[in-house]
Amino acid sequence: MRVAFAGSPAAAATVLDHLVSTRHRLALVITQPDRSRGRSSRLVPTAVAEAAEEHGIPVLKPTSINDEFVLAAMREADLGALAVAAFGQILREPLLSEWLCLNVHFSLLPKYRGAAPVERAIMDGVSRTGVTIMRMDEGLDTGPIALAASVEIGPDDDAMGLTGRLAGVGGPLLADTLDAAEDGSLSLAPQPEEGVSYAAKITAEDRSLNPERPARAVVDHVRALAPHVGATIVIGGHALKVWAAKVHDGDRLARPVEARDGRLLVRCADGAVELLQVQPPGRGRMGADAFLRGWRGDLTPGA
């Protein structure tokens, strides 16, 4: 089958790389426009754009996949399907009706519909998630399901690591769905009406750690935003990003924040967490011991 692929980040590139190895012909890749990065504001292509160029696949970088020139290119490519993974744009009519549009969604639908299913699952402390291949419709991840596979969330998984594992599962699952579509055996089942939840996009408000929650919940919050967003905590009037943490298994702290032998500890509702890797304002990421050696402020929590 001739297929177009729409995606943007590294996880989507993993799915694309797998499709290239299958019997299906990747005729066109659609991805987000290049974005400026770093202090130089240099334009950088998406991971999917780079992967497509390596495979010699034509690439489009529209501000909207629904633009007429994109639809014209898809019609000219004589496609059997459009495969979508972590693309970052909303598909609308007539695109949705003109092609079989299949989405690789990183949750077991109908749980965690929306933009941040991996982050929200880890943040909620659940032990399993998965990948769902669904036919896209005009709703928010509401289309019928073709295939799904469950994936365990380990206690030390962060968002990037888990996303990579899910992408590794999603590529073969998508290929199996395209195989079924090509040979006429594709079966689609409506999503269950029960168990619906939404994974809203991560906002600045979501980054703030709340030490009044249980220690395990605080650690899960850190894992959910690592290593791409970063949770934050205010100590001594400075907002520190927290990139890694673990539950402290020692005695309860006498003060809200303590430094013990190069360890940075924060009291929580039922114990404490140890901040393992932090990032002070204007500095790079560092271990808690390096942070404490260079810290000249106090350890008072909050502003």
- The answer to whether the Cα torsion of 66, 69, 75, 80 is positive or negative is negative
* CA 123 to chain CA centroid, nearest Å: 12
**What is the average per-residue pLDDT within 59-64?**
98
> How many residues can be counted in the chain?
303
Going by their DSSP bridges, the two strands 25-30 and 59-60 should be labelled as parallel
Residue 169 has phi, psi (to 5 degrees) of -80, -40
Confidence of residue 204 (pLDDT cuts 50, 70, 90): very high
Q: Would you say residue 218 has pLDDT above 80?
A: yes
Predicted local distance difference test score (pLDDT) of residue 37: 79
Predicted local distance difference test score (pLDDT) of residue 298: 77
**What is the average per-residue pLDDT within 238-243?**
95
pTM of the model: 0.94
User: What domains appear along the chain, each with residue ranges and CATH number?
Assistant: 2-183 (3.40.50.170), 204-294 (3.10.25.10)
At 98-115, the pLDDT tens digits run: 999 999 999 999 999 999
Q: Would you say residue 97 has pLDDT above 70?
A: yes
Predicted local distance difference test score (pLDDT) of residue 299: 82
Predicted local distance difference test score (pLDDT) of residue 119: 98
- The proportion of the chain whose per-residue pLDDT surpasses 70, expressed as a percent, equals 98
Predicted local distance difference test score (pLDDT) of residue 301: 75
Q: Would you say residue 33 has pLDDT above 60?
A: yes
H or E element that contains 10 = helix 10-20
At 156-198, the pLDDT tens digits run: 999 999 999 999 999 999 999 999 999 999 999 999 999 999 9
CA distance 288 to 241: 11
- The answer to whether the Cα torsion of 247, 210, 119, 45 is positive or negative is negative
Predicted local distance difference test score (pLDDT) of residue 252: 85
Q: Would you say residue 39 has pLDDT above 80?
A: no
**What is the average per-residue pLDDT within 271-275?**
96
